[in-house]
Amino acid sequence: MANTILVGAQWGDEGKGKIIDMLTAKADIVVRSQGGNNAGHTVIHGGKKFILHLIPSGILRARKICVIGNGVVIDPLALVKEIDGLRHLGVKIGRNLLISDCAHLVLPYHRALDEQREQLKGRGKIGTPKRGIGPAYGAQA
C-alpha cells in the first residue's frame, strides 16, 4: 500500500490544499492529520469554487473516503457549517467522511481564552484569528 504525505514548511499560503486536491484523484483515502479551522483552502472542482477549512478536499471526488484525524482540533459549529455549505453546493457527505474519536474539540471557552490572551498582549499580540485553536491544542497537553 503506497502512501503520499504532503508536509508544509511554512505557516500556510503555500498551496498545500491545491496540491492535495490534485493528488486525491489517485487516492482511496484522504486524511487531514492536524490543524483546525483557522486556515483553509479554496479549490475549483468541476467548475465550482469550494472553500474548505476542516474537511479534506477528497470529499469533492466520488468514491473517496475522507478522514479528519486525531491531530485535528475540531470546532463542531464550524464543522456543521462547512458540511451544510458543501451539501448546499451538491456535495454528498455521509459515510465518506470519518472523524477520529481521538480528535479534540474546540469549545467556546477555548475561543474566549484565545481572545483574552490576545487582548492581554496589547501591541505584542500575534494576530490570532481568535478561533481557539491554540488553547485547544494547549489543553491536550
Active-site residue set: 13, 41
Rounded distance between C-alpha atoms, residue 69 and residue 31, angstroms: 6
Question: Side chain identity at 73, as an amino acid letter?
Answer: V
Nearest Cα to 107, choosing from 141, 136, 66, 137? 136
